[in-house]
């Protein structure tokens, strides 16, 4: 619901908001420019009388002196029936130059206030400010949901590059956007008289003035008592009219000054409404507070970026959305599938189950968990397929499920099987599925099968679950799931480097390119893009070996900006895909697709990174080092068998050490005299590692599960004196694993 609102209103208001934001950002520079040109220092000790005295001889036709919020002084005068305005140095009274408002800034201001359309435009600008406010709030709530609640709002953000950019930038700009939008709305409300006019009452009409001979302006006592920094405007009396007076506006109020006696007459201090209005005006424009203006300008400048990334996220989600075909109505269905999903991949699994059940003769209704109604009169079985998000929380399409379930008073006789989709990188693996299962058990809901879980959208694990389900419902179920939204691409092997044959562990580094070669587009070539899709080191590539529609996943050792797609593959005896890949010769092609793995990335901060791996687990770690162009401290611990035959990436690692992309290389081998494993080396370096972790280091582990478990045990011991454990580091996003 929140997401639907955020996407739809964002799309509808995108153009209005972007124009408002860009024009606002341009205007925000004005107070800073004016302030940098204005002479402000030392003006507090100069009185308005002294300044006006200095101007009297050079500007005999002076009509008005004005001081802007930024501190610039402008004198308006007539000279030979010509009006003019000059910028004045307030200390010396000397002319700095002619003053005229920049026509560009006037145009931008009109664009910002009314899209150059007067009243309809003003209404449009108010609507845009209102939409911006709603979008900012709904976005903030969505971010909090995603991160597991408000108290985790500063946690590292995960997701694809575009998602992280959208959320990170939004998180930084949020306060500025709320301030700009609310103050803008307040000013619109004043314009449309929705809240009472801010103007204070005029000073009382003067019945009687002295009418005597005008005194020199520099002798007028009221003007002598007002400092230039307090002045806003001094309007001179009509020449030769001894009954006219000076009108003065200061920071405190408005009044008159008798041109003969110099007395301050009928001074009217501002009402509190006006003080509030002026404060809000200052907050909105930065006039008088140039640094705030610049900060607000910077935050509004994020709006076009947020709009662009927001549209991309919406489009990607739309592209991957699955609309279930052959969906029976809830009233007629004998089988119900409910789906909890955030980024749609679980819908693909649901469609595969739906199709297989259809094929076996069942009438299936599939819908989101949020639409659960407990009114399925014909249903004999219920399947709940759900992902987990945030810190073990419900995904978007299941956010209301537990509340709806709680409201049920009579549990139906509808056996249920819950299948959780999650990622073992997260401490709360499939937690939401567990919560759903627990809530169903609490309601004494009959079970078809106990909870099962799928890690990293594994098609193999899903197929196994399908077999178990088939047995319980007495139907043959073949769940062959290839993610539908992943378009496979063709890749051509460009290079292979073989290792490990002597130690019975044939391992190859395989480098693929697009068969179409480099991109034809000028822009892409300029940006160094290839015809490869976008991916980062640590993402996964799903490869479809010939004669199989079931993908096998490999961690990527390169990013698309490296111009190649690189994997490191060990051949397993009888392994279908590894044998297929090892049999490839340069020039051969394969079918593959990218599966983002945003949870397995190094932080971009300057904190040290400890990379730990064994065997082919070195692949993504080398990718991280290769792209460590900022030379952040990276320490590699890696275990192989024999330095002579399977020291994977040895030449590359030595060159990265030389050019400082790699800080320290710790390679150990198990089939040499030292017989050392990576966890042994880690234990030896306990002191150094404890210091690195104490400094905020992030740890990335890649390789077999046994190695990862041993590493975790050793690290737990190493960091115990710091009062933390690996689980704590995982919760902080500082311990990530890619294990198989
Ligand atoms: C931001 C984010 C948070 C996640 N949190 C968890 C989690 O706490 N526990 C878990 O097991 N999986 C977690 N996952 C993994 C997803 O549940 C998993 O990738 C799932 O298959 C996604 O399904 P969907 O595409 O249908 O949303 C998270 C993924 C992301 C991107």
What's the gap in Å between 566 CA and the centre of ligand 1? Answer: 26
Residue nearest to atom 16 of ligand 1 (CA): 422
| Residue 397 near ligand 1, beta carbon < 6 Å | no
Count the residues in the chain: 740
Predicted confidence at residue 343, as pLDDT, reads: 74
As a whole number, mean pLDDT of residues 146-151 equals 78
As a whole number, mean pLDDT of residues 288-299 equals 87
| Residue 512 near ligand 1, beta carbon < 6 Å | no
pLDDT higher than 90, residue 612: yes
Cα 232 to the chain's mean position, in Å? 43
Question: Which carries the bigger pLDDT value, residue 72 or residue 684?
Answer: 684
Q: Which CATH class is domain 489-595?
A: mainly beta
- 425: tokens are 């990188």
pLDDT higher than 90, residue 433: yes
pLDDT higher than 80, residue 200: no
Residue 118 banded pLDDT, cuts 50, 70, 90: confident
Residue 425 banded pLDDT, cuts 50, 70, 90: low
Domain pair 321-473 / 489-595, same fold: no
Residue 564 banded pLDDT, cuts 50, 70, 90: very high
Three-class DSSP labels, 692-727: HHHCCCEEEEEECHHHHHHHHHHHHHHHHHHCCCHH
Max avg pLDDT among 21-35, 352-366, 395-409: 352-366
Question: Which carries the bigger pLDDT value, residue 11 or residue 452?
Answer: 452
The mean predicted confidence, pLDDT, of the chain is: 88
What's the gap in Å between 272 CA and the centre of ligand 1? Answer: 52
| Residue 160 near ligand 1, beta carbon < 6 Å | no
What's the gap in Å between 456 CA and the centre of ligand 1? Answer: 8
Q: Which residues of 521-531 are buried (b: 16+ CB within 10 A; e: fewer)?
A: eeeeeeeebbb
Task: Identify whether the C-beta of residue 285 lies closer than 8 Å to the C-beta of residue 31.
Answer: yes
| CA 38/CA 89 separation, integer angstroms | 8
| Nearest residue to 317 via CA among 485, 540, 562, 536 | 485
Helix (H) or strand (E) holding 231: strand 231-235
Please give the ipTM for the structure prediction.
0.99
What's the gap in Å between 517 CA and the centre of ligand 1? Answer: 35
| CA 76/CA 67 separation, integer angstroms | 11
Q: What is the DSSP letter of 562?
A: G
Instruction: Give pLDDT tens digits for 232-256.
Output: 999 999 988 888 999 999 989 999 9
Helix axes 290-320, 161-191, angle to 10 degrees: 130
Task: Identify whether the C-beta of residue 738 lies closer than 8 Å to the C-beta of residue 702.
Answer: yes
- All residues at 6 or more sequence positions from 653 whose CB lies less than 8 Å from its CB, including other chains: 622, 625, 636, 662, 665, 667
Task: Identify whether the C-beta of residue 369 lies closer than 8 Å to the C-beta of residue 338.
Answer: yes
Residue nearest to atom 3 of ligand 1 (CA): 389
Residue with tokens 């997401």: 3
| CA 152/CA 90 separation, integer angstroms | 52
User: What is the spatial order of strands in the sheet that 381-387 belongs to?
Assistant: 364-368, 335-340, 381-387, 416-422, 447-455
Residue with tokens 């056996």: 415
Residue 609 banded pLDDT, cuts 50, 70, 90: very high
| Nearest residue to 626 via CA among 618, 614, 638, 616 | 618
Q: Where are the beta strands (DSSP E) in 435-564?
A: 447-455, 489-499, 507-513, 540-544, 552-555
- 542: tokens are 């799903």
Beta-bridge partners for 591:
490, 544
Task: Identify whether the C-beta of residue 495 lies closer than 8 Å to the C-beta of residue 586.
Answer: yes
| Nearest residue to 489 via CA among 529, 537, 527, 544 | 544
- 704: tokens are 């077999």
| Residue 388 near ligand 1, beta carbon < 6 Å | yes
For 303, other C-beta atoms within 10 Å of its C-beta total 27
Task: Identify whether the C-beta of residue 540 lies closer than 8 Å to the C-beta of residue 555.
Answer: yes
- All residues at 6 or more sequence positions from 648 whose CB lies less than 8 Å from its CB, including other chains: 499, 500, 507, 509, 568, 615, 616, 618, 640
Predicted confidence at residue 502, as pLDDT, reads: 80
Residue with tokens 């009928």: 266
| CA 200/CA 203 separation, integer angstroms | 9
| Residue 72 near ligand 1, beta carbon < 6 Å | no
With the most atoms of ligand 1 within 8 angstroms of its CB, the residue from 159, 388, 395, 553 to mutate is: 388
With the most atoms of ligand 1 within 8 angstroms of its CB, the residue from 161, 163, 167, 342 to mutate is: 342
As a whole number, mean pLDDT of residues 641-668 equals 95
pLDDT higher than 80, residue 202: no
As a whole number, mean pLDDT of residues 652-660 equals 96
For 411, other C-beta atoms within 10 Å of its C-beta total 14
Max avg pLDDT among 125-129, 142-146, 613-617: 613-617
Q: What is the DSSP letter of 554?
A: E
pLDDT higher than 80, residue 322: no
Burial of 477 (0-12, 13-18, 19+ CB in 10 A): buried
| Nearest residue to 554 via CA among 456, 631, 700 | 456
The Cα diameter of the chain in Å comes to 114
| Nearest residue to 711 via CA among 736, 692, 728, 674 | 736
| Residue 214 near ligand 1, beta carbon < 6 Å | no
Residue nearest to atom 22 of ligand 1 (CA): 387
Residue nearest to atom 4 of ligand 1 (CA): 389
193 SS3 class: coil
Task: Identify whether the C-beta of residue 381 lies closer than 8 Å to the C-beta of residue 137.
Answer: no
Percent of the chain with pLDDT over 70: 93
Alpha helices in 161-233 (DSSP H): 161-191, 221-224
Q: Which CATH class is domain 321-473?
A: alpha beta
In whole angstroms, how far apart are CA 98 and each of 40, 86, 477, 481, 613? 19, 4, 85, 74, 70
Burial of 469 (0-12, 13-18, 19+ CB in 10 A): buried
As a whole number, mean pLDDT of residues 524-545 equals 77
| Residue 184 near ligand 1, beta carbon < 6 Å | no
Are β-strands 507-513 and 565-570 bridged in parallel, bridged antiparallel, or unpaired? antiparallel
| CA 145/CA 133 separation, integer angstroms | 18
Helix (H) or strand (E) holding 302: helix 290-320
Taking the domains of the chain in order of start, what are their residue ranges? 2-29+105-195+291-315, 40-90+201-269, 321-473, 489-595, 609-739
Question: Which carries the bigger pLDDT value, residue 483 or residue 637?
Answer: 637
Q: Among 522-531, 595-604, 692-701, which stretch is predicted with the lowest mean pLDDT? A: 522-531
**Cα torsion angle, 646, 648, 651, 657, sign:** negative
Q: Where are the beta strands (DSSP E) in 220-353?
A: 231-235, 245-250, 253-258, 264-269, 335-340
In whole angstroms, how far apart are CA 142 and each of 135, 145, 306, 396, 654? 10, 5, 14, 9, 45
Q: Which CATH class is domain 609-739?
A: alpha beta
Phi/psi for 9 (5° steps) reads -70, -35
């Amino acid at each position: 619901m929140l997401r639907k609102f955020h996407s739809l209103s964002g799309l509808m208001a995108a153009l209005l908001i972007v124009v408002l934001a860009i024009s606002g950002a341009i205007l925000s520079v004005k107070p800073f420019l004016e302030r940098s040109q204005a002479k402000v220092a030392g003006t507090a000790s100069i009185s308005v009388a002294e300044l006006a005295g200095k101007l009297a001889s050079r500007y005999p036709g002076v009509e008005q002196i004005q001081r802007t919020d930024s501190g610039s002084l402008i004198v308006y005068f007539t000279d030979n029936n010509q009006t003019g305005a000059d910028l004045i140095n307030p200390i010396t009274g000397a002319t700095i130059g002619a003053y005229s408002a920049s026509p560009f800034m006037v145009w931008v201001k009109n664009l910002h206030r009314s899209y150059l359309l007067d009243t309809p435009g003003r209404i449009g600008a108010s609507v845009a400010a209102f939409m911006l406010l709603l979008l900012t709030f709904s976005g903030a709530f969505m971010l909090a949901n995603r991160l597991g609640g408000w108290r985790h709002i500063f946690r590292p953000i995960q997701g694809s590059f575009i998602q992280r950019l959208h959320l990170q930038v939004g998180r930084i700009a949020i306060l500025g956007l709320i301030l700009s939008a609310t103050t803008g709305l307040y000013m619109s409300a004043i314009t449309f008289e929705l809240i009472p006019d801010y103007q204070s009452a005029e000073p009382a009409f003067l019945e009687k003035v002295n009418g005597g001979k005008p005194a020199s302006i520099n002798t007028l006592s009221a003007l002598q008592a007002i400092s230039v920094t307090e002045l806003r405007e001094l309007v001179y009396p009509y020449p030769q009219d001894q009954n006219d007076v000076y009108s003065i506006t200061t920071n405190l109020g408005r009044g008159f000054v008798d041109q003969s006696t110099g007395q301050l007459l009928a001074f009217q201090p501002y009402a509190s409404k006006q003080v509030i209005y002026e404060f809000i005006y200052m907050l909105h424009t930065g006039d008088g507070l140039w640094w705030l203006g610049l900060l607000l300008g910077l935050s509004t400048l994020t709006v076009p970026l947020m709009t662009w990334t927001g549209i991309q996220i919406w489009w990607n989600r739309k592209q991957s959305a699955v609309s279930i075909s052959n969906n029976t109505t809830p009233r007629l269905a004998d089988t119900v599938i409910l789906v909890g999903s955030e980024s749609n991949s679980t819908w693909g699994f649901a469609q595969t189950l739906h199709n297989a059940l259809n094929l076996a003769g069942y009438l299936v209704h599939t819908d989101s968990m949020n639409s659960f109604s407990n009114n399925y009169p014909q249903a004999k079985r219920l399947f709940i397929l759900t992902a987990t998000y945030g810190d073990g929380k419900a995904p978007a399409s299941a956010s209301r499920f537990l509340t709806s379930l709680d409201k049920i008073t009579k549990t139906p006789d509808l056996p249920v099987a819950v299948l959780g989709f999650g990622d073992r990188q997260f401490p709360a693996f499939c937690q939401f599925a567990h919560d759903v299962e627990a809530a169903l058990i609490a309601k004494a809901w009959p079970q078809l099968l106990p909870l099962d879980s799928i890690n990293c959208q594994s098609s193999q694990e899903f197929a196994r679950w399908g077999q178990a389900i088939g047995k319980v419902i007495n139907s043959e179920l073949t769940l062959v799931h290839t993610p539908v939204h992943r378009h496979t691409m063709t890749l051509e092997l460009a290079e292979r480097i073989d290792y490990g044959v002597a130690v019975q562990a044939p391992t190859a580094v395989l480098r693929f390119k697009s068969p179409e070669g480099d991109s034809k587009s000028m822009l892409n070539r300029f940006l160094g893009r290839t015809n490869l899709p976008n991916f980062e080191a640590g993402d996964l590539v799903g490869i479809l070996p010939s004669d199989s529609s079931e993908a096998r996943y490999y961690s990527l050792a390169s990013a698309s900006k490296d111009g190649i797609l690189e994997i490191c593959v060990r051949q397993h005896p009888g392994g279908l895909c590894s044998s297929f890949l090892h049999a490839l010769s340069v020039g051969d092609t394969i079918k593959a697709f990218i599966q983002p793995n945003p949870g397995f990335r190094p932080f971009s901060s300057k904190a040290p990174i400890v990379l730990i791996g064994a065997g082919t687990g070195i692949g993504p770690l080398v990718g991280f080092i290769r792209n460590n162009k900022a030379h952040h401290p990276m320490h590699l611990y890696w275990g192989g068998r024999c330095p002579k035959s399977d020291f994977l990436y040895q030449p590359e690692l030595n060159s990265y050490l030389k050019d400082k992309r790699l800080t320290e290389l710790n390679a150990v081998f198990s089939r040499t005299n030292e017989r050392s494993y990576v966890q042994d080396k880690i234990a030896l370096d306990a002191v150094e590692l404890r210091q690195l972790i104490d400094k905020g280091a992030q740890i990335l582990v890649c390789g077999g599960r046994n190695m990862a478990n041993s590493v975790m045990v050793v690290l737990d011991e190493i960091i115990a004196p710091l009062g933390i454990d690996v689980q704590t580091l995982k919760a902080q996003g500082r311990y990530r694993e890619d294990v198989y």
